[in-house]
Amino acid sequence: MSDKLTRQEYWDELDPDKLNLSKSDVVHFCEDCIDEWKKDRIANIKYIIAMEIMKAQVKMTPEPVLKLIWKKIVLWFYDLTYQNAIANTKDTMLKEIRKLGKKQNR
């Protein structure tokens, strides 16, 4: 038996999109957010309710499924951030990036 990682195992370990947190870490994060928002309950009630629902769903979701969902959320976030930046018509540098994007889509 060897302790050496396969190439795929090695790359999986380096994957920045991989969820390395445990379910309890994610739940703890949710609780920290809720605690912060409770400082002004009236202004933040919709956030508190949404995060309570999210916390309950994290608790119910099996850890392997949670890790797959996390990866998808991160990838979607990167894509949405890129699309949002490209949609900024005021930035001259982004105009050049849009031109490059149009050339690649042809």
Quick: pLDDT tens for 53-98: 999 999 999 988 888 888 888 888 888 888 887 777 777 777 777 6
pLDDT of residue 74: 81
How big is the chain by its Cα radius of gyration, in Å?
20
CB atoms within 10 A of CB 25: 11
pLDDT of residue 1: 47
Distance CA 103, CA 8 (A): 33
**CB 12 within 8 Å of CB 18:** yes
The model scores a pTM over 0.75: no
89 CB contacts (<8 Å, ≥6 apart)?
A: 95
**CB 87 within 8 Å of CB 95:** no
**Of 106 and 24, the one with more pLDDT:** 24
